[in-house]
Structure 1
Amino acid sequence: MRHKRGKLTISTMMAISLAIAGCSNADEGTNAAANNEAASEGENAKATVSTSGFPIVQEPISFTMFARIAPVNGPFKDMPVFQDYEKLSNIKAEFTEVPTDGFQEKKNLLFASNELPDVLFRAGLTPLETIRYGTAGQLLPLENLIGEYAPNFKQLMDAYPEIRSAITTPEGHIYALPTIVTLGAARTDKKWINQAWLKKLNLQEPQTTEDLYNVLVAFRDKDPNGNGKPDEIPMTARASSGPGLGLPVVNMMSGSFGLDNQLGYNINLADGKVEIWMGNDRNKELLQYLNKLYSEKLLDPEVFSQKEAEYLAKQGSGNTGFFFDQTNNPFLPIADQYTGIAPLEGPHGDRLQSQGAPVPRDFGSFAIASVNEHPEAALRWVDYFYGEEGSTLLRFGREGEHYELKDGIPYYTEQFLQSGNQAKITPYAGGGAPHLISDKVASFINPPQVQEAQKKLDPYMPEIRYAAPMFDEETARKVDVLRNDIDKYYEEQSTKFIAGAIGFEKWDEFQATLKKMGLEDLQQIYQTAYDAMEK
C-alpha cells in the first residue's frame, strides 16, 4: 500500500469538498483553478470520467485497495474479474489483501495511523465506523456523486427505499455502500443436518430443541460414520462473527427461544417497544441449553476457537452432524449427505428464524477514502458490480471458460466445477464483496438444494427485517462506547456460561453488571431510532 497524505488539514478538506461538488461552467472552473489549484485538479479529474459506457477514464489510472481476503480465495490479481475489468475500465486495482482472521485489527490500525488507501473493498465497515471515519474526514461522502456516477446503485435505491435509509446518516451523508441482496436465500444461514446419518440411525428430522438434543446424542454414541471410532462432531458453528456481532452459535439458536435480531442487534420488537434481550430469562434458557450440549460433548469443543478455514473443512469432511451456513458450497462434493431443516421449536413454542439480513446486507462493503484523487472514477468502477452484467463477471468469471448461459442465467460449466476452483476466481466467495446478488446471478449459491432449505425457513421469517440504524455523530459515539463494553462483556460471559467456566448461580450478578454498563441507556437509544423510522 502506498502511503498518502498524513493528517488531514482544513485546506485539504476544502479541496475535497470542491472536487465533489464540481463546476458545470468552464469559465467558472478556470476561475476556481486560479484561486484554488487543488480544486482545479479535482475538477479536471472529474471531467475525464465518463458517466456511462467504457472505458471509465481515457488515460489509465490505478487505485490502492485495502481488502479482506477469505481463506477460500485465490489472489485478487489472478481473478478474471479484475483482470478483465482493468482492460474494460482503464482502472487498475492494486490490492492489499488482508486475511479474514485479524482483518478487524488491521482495519482499525489503518484508520488510527491515517495511512489510507484510495478505496476500501470488502471492508465490512460498521455503521459506527462509517460515522466515526466519515465525520473525521477520512471517508468521502458519496450522496452527491451517486446520481451521476452510480446509476445501477441509484436504481436499486429507488426500487428498495430501505437501502437509502439503512446507509444514510441523520445528517444526510452516505459514506459507504453495502452488498445489495434481492435474493432471499442469500440473506439467511440455513440449518444443515446430516440426513445420511439420520437415515442410518432411523431418526426423523428434529422439530424441537429437545428432538435436536436426542439426535445429537445418537450422532455421538451410535457411530453413524461406521468407522468404529467416537470421532463424529455432532454439532458445530463458526467461532466468531466479528466484534460486536455475538457468538454465532448463540445467534443461530436464538430464534428457538423467542430472541430476534432486529435493528442489527440483539433486539426484540413487540408492540412498538424495543427490548435488548441480553440477560433476560429467555437468554438464560438459551445459554443453559447450549451449556448442556457443550458439557455432554454434543457441541464442538472448538466452537469458540476454530478459524474459518477449519470450520469450512469440517463441513466438507462429511463427519459433522449439524451446522449452519448460507449455501452448500463448502460441502458441495458431498451435498447429498445433508438437508436443510426448519427452525427448531423451543421450550415455549417459539420457532423464529431470527437470523437474516435485510436487502442492504454486508454494510460498509465499499468506501472511498478522502485521499482518493479520482472519487468519481472509483464510484463508477464499483457501480458496474451493482448491475447484472458486472455482478456476473464478479461472481462467475468468463463466459465459455468458466460459465455458460442457460435461459439467461449463468451456470458454471461442468469442466470448471470439476476443477474445484470456483472460490479462487471470485471475491464473492467468503462474503462481503460490494455487488448485486439477485436471482439472476446466484445459481451457484442458490441451487435446488439451497432453495429447498430456504423454503423451510420462510414461514418463520419476520415480516420486516430492520437494518441497523444510522445515528448522528454524538449518538454514534455514545453507542460505540456503550457497545464496546457491553458486547465484549456479553460475549465473554456467554462463552463462559456455555463452556461451564462459570455457573448460572452467577446470573443475577451478570444481569446487574449489564445494567451498570448502561444496557437500559443503550435500549433507549435504539427505541428513539426505531420510533424515528416508524414516523
Structure 2
Amino acid sequence: MRRHWGRSALATLIIAGLILAGCSNGGDSKKENNSPPPSTESAVKAEGFPIVDQPIKLKMFTRIAPANGPFKEMPVFQDYEKLSNIQVEFTEAPTDGFAEKKNLLFASNELPDALFRSELNPLETIRYGTAGQLIPLEDLIEEYAPNLKALMEQYPEIRSAITTPEGHIYSIPGIVTTGSARTDKRWINKAWLEKLNLKEPTTTEELYNVLVAFRDGDPNGNGVADEIPMTARNAAAGIIIVNMMAGSFGLDLQLGYNINIEDGKVNIWSGDEKHKELLMYLNRLYKEKLLDQEIFSHTEAQYLAKQGSGNAGLFFDQTNNNFLPIMDQYVGIAPPAGPNGDQMQSAVAPVPRDFGAFAITSVNKHPEATMRWIDYFYSDEGSTLLRFGREGEHYEMRDGVPYYFDDFIAVTGAQGKMTPYAGGGAPHLISDQVASFINPPQVQEAFKKLEPYMPEIRYANPMFDEETAQKVNILRNDIDKYVNEQSTKFIVGALSFDKWEEFQSTLNKMKIDELEGIYQAAYDKMAK
C-alpha cells in the first residue's frame, strides 16, 4: 500500500537529518560505519550445525502479519534455535503501521541486530546502508552464505537487483524460482459459467458480457441480486485492479513501475491514452456494478472472505488457499485480449520477489553467524523447515516433496501460528521443491493459462545511488499519490474523462519526463 505523503515526508526529513549528523563527524566516518564490526564469537562453522558451539543471542525486528501468532511460540524458530545454537529475540510490529515503526527505528538509531521480513525498499536500503546503519553483505555472502551465493550464480538477475551502483549489497530478498508464485491467477467461477451456459471470456468485451450475466442471471440461485461479478484486493487507489488488467491494454510493469520498454526506450505510461482506455473500461465496470463497489474500501480479511464465499464471479490471487473448500467451483483463465489485441500478464514479480526482506545492522556483534543463520532458509531443506515446520507433526514427505497434513491445514489459523511464511515477505527460497501448498495441480493449471502471455524478461526495481534515489523518491511521492488518487476518481466516476488533458498536464508539471529519464539511464545500465 502506498504510504501517506505527509508521514513519508516527515520520516524522510528525520532520516536525512540523521545522515547529515553522521556525516559531520568526519570525512572517514561513513567508510568506518560501513564496515562490519569485529566478530566476538570464537568460531563460526562454514557448514553444518550447530552454527556456533557457544550459544549466542540476536535481536531482530520483524513484521507480524494478522495471520501470525508470536514468533517465539513458532515451532519453526524453536527447532531452529536448537539446530543452530542461536537464540533470536523478535521485536514484532503489526503490518498496519509497520513502515512508520521501521522508519522510526532508524531515525532513533535504536537498532536491532537484524531485520527479518523487513520490507526495506531500494531507497531505504541505500539510505540506511550509506548512513552506516546497515552493513554491506557481499563479503559475508561470499564466505558464509553458500546457498544464497549459488542462487545468485544461477540467477544473475538477483545480484543485479540488489547491488548498489557502488557495488554493495545491504539487504537480501525473498527468492522465488517457482513461476506460479510470481503472479496472481485469474480465478473465474466455473460453476456460474456452466449454469448460465457461458464460455470462458477471451477478450475484454467478452469479459464484460460474462460479468453482466453474473450480475443479472442469478447464478447462485438464491433469487437475490447479491452476486459480486468481479473483485480484487484493495490497495492505495485500487492499484491492484489496474495492474491486473493493464496487460489487456498494452501496459507493462517493468522496473517495478508503470513502465513499458519498447526498442530499448523506457516509457512511463501513467499519462498515456492506453492508460485512459484502461480506466474507462474499469469505470464502465464499476458504474454498472460489475466491479465490486467495495473494491477501494474492503479490508484484506473481507476480500478473502469473498473468495471463500463462492459468491464472487472473478477475482485474483496467487493460489487457491483461500477457497480450498469450494475449489472445484473455480478455474484459472488466460488474460483477456484488449480492444487493440493486446494480451499480456503484466503483474509478474521478478525472481528476487520480496526486496529487502533481510538486513544486518551495524550494531550486530555476530554478522558471520547471522549470515549463516539466514542462509539456511535459502536451501530446500531450510525452506522446508520455515514453510512446513515439523515432519510427522505438520507435514509428511511424498516422493521427496513436503505436504501439509490435511488435519493440520484444516485448523483455522494453525499455519500462521507455526510459520512466518503465512503473511508473506519472509526471507527464504520458494522453489518447486517446497511449493506443494501454493502450487497444487489446480494452481499449476491456472498458471499454464498465463505463462504464454508473461514477459520474457521481468526487470526488477533498479538500485540507484543515494542522490538519485532521493530524487526518485521525491518525484514519485508526488506523482504516485496524484496518479493513484486520480485513477480512483476516474474509475468510480468522481472525475470526468474530459479532465484527462488536465491530468496529463499536471503530470508534466510534476516532471514525469525527468523521472522517465532516470529510469531510462537505469535500464541502459541493466541492458548492457
TM-score (norm 1): 0.91
Counterpart in the other structure of 1:126? 121
* Residue 362 (structure 1) aligned with residue 354 (structure 2): yes
Counterpart in the other structure of 1:206? 201
Alignment of 1:82-161 (within 5 A): 82-161=77-156
Do the aligned partners of residues 43 and 138 (structure 1) sit closer, same or farther apart at CA in structure 2, a change above 3 Å counting? closer
SS at 2:91 equivalent = strand
Conservation of the 8 A alpha-carbon contact between 2:34 and 2:132: no
Mapped partners of 2:343, 2:374: distance in 1: 39
Conservation of the 8 A alpha-carbon contact between 1:73 and 1:424: yes
SS at 1:449 equivalent = helix
SS at 2:520 equivalent = helix
Task: Give the number of equivalent residue pairs.
Answer: 505
Quote the offset at 1:221 in angstroms. 1.8
Mapped partners of 1:529, 1:425: distance in 2: 41
Conservation of the 8 A alpha-carbon contact between 1:72 and 1:309: no
Conservation of the 8 A alpha-carbon contact between 1:180 and 1:437: yes
Quote the offset at 1:228 in angstroms. 2.1
Counterpart in the other structure of 1:299? 291
Mapped partners of 1:17, 1:272: distance in 2: 36
Quote the offset at 1:208 in angstroms. 0.9
Mapped partners of 2:82, 2:348: distance in 1: 37
Worse-superposed segment, 442-451 or 130-139: 130-139
One-letter amino acid of the counterpart of residue 219, structure 2: P
* Residue 448 (structure 1) aligned with residue 444 (structure 2): no
Mapped partners of 2:107, 2:271: distance in 1: 33
* Residue 184 (structure 1) aligned with residue 176 (structure 2): no
Quote the offset at 1:74 in angstroms. 2.6
Mapped partners of 2:395, 2:345: distance in 1: 33
SS at 1:63 equivalent = strand
Unaligned runs of 5+ in 2: 1-17
Conservation of the 8 A alpha-carbon contact between 2:33 and 2:131: no
Alignment of 1:27-46 (within 5 A): 42-45=38-41
* Residue 255 (structure 1) aligned with residue 247 (structure 2): yes
* Residue 468 (structure 1) aligned with residue 478 (structure 2): no
* Residue 428 (structure 1) aligned with residue 421 (structure 2): yes
Equivalent of 1:384, from 355, 359, 376?
376
Quote the offset at 1:236 in angstroms. 1.1
Quote the offset at 1:60 in angstroms. 2.2
* Residue 483 (structure 1) aligned with residue 479 (structure 2): no
One-letter amino acid of the counterpart of residue 106, structure 1: K
* Residue 196 (structure 1) aligned with residue 188 (structure 2): no
Conservation of the 8 A alpha-carbon contact between 2:71 and 2:90: yes
Counterpart in the other structure of 1:524? 517
Deviations 1:259-283 (A, max 9, x none): 0011111100111111000010000
Do the aligned partners of residues 403 and 121 (structure 1) sit closer, same or farther apart at CA in structure 2, a change above 3 Å counting? same
Deviations 1:106-129 (A, max 9, x none): 223322333322221111111121
Quote the offset at 1:14 in angstroms. 6.6
Equivalent of 1:399, from 391, 398, 403?
391
Quote the offset at 1:98 in angstroms. 2.4
One-letter amino acid of the counterpart of residue 203, structure 2: T
Quote the offset at 1:413 in angstroms. 1.8
Do the aligned partners of residues 458 and 234 (structure 1) sit closer, same or farther apart at CA in structure 2, a change above 3 Å counting? same
Unaligned runs of 5+ in 1: 1-5, 21-38
Deviations 1:384-424 (A, max 9, x none): 00001100000111111111111111111233233342343
Quote the offset at 1:377 in angstroms. 1.7
Counterpart in the other structure of 1:413? 405
Counterpart in the other structure of 2:229? 234
Counterpart in the other structure of 1:267? 259
TM-score (norm 2): 0.92
Mapped partners of 2:120, 2:34: distance in 1: 22
One-letter amino acid of the counterpart of residue 451, structure 1: Q
Equivalent of 1:514, from 491, 507, 516?
507
SS at 2:167 equivalent = coil
Quote the offset at 1:80 in angstroms. 1.6
Do the aligned partners of residues 196 and 213 (structure 1) sit closer, same or farther apart at CA in structure 2, a change above 3 Å counting? same
Mapped partners of 1:473, 1:258: distance in 2: 33
Counterpart in the other structure of 1:496? 489
Worse-superposed segment, 406-415 or 508-517: 406-415
Counterpart in the other structure of 2:271? 279
Mapped partners of 2:160, 2:391: distance in 1: 36
* Residue 164 (structure 1) aligned with residue 163 (structure 2): no
* Residue 54 (structure 1) aligned with residue 69 (structure 2): no
Conservation of the 8 A alpha-carbon contact between 2:174 and 2:357: yes
Do the aligned partners of residues 270 and 507 (structure 1) sit closer, same or farther apart at CA in structure 2, a change above 3 Å counting? same
Mapped partners of 1:13, 1:179: distance in 2: 28
SS at 1:419 equivalent = coil
Worse-superposed segment, 439-448 or 72-81: 72-81
SS at 1:269 equivalent = strand
Conservation of the 8 A alpha-carbon contact between 1:71 and 1:309: no
* Residue 225 (structure 1) aligned with residue 207 (structure 2): no
Conservation of the 8 A alpha-carbon contact between 2:174 and 2:425: yes
Conservation of the 8 A alpha-carbon contact between 1:482 and 1:522: yes
Conservation of the 8 A alpha-carbon contact between 1:71 and 1:308: no
One-letter amino acid of the counterpart of residue 271, structure 2: G
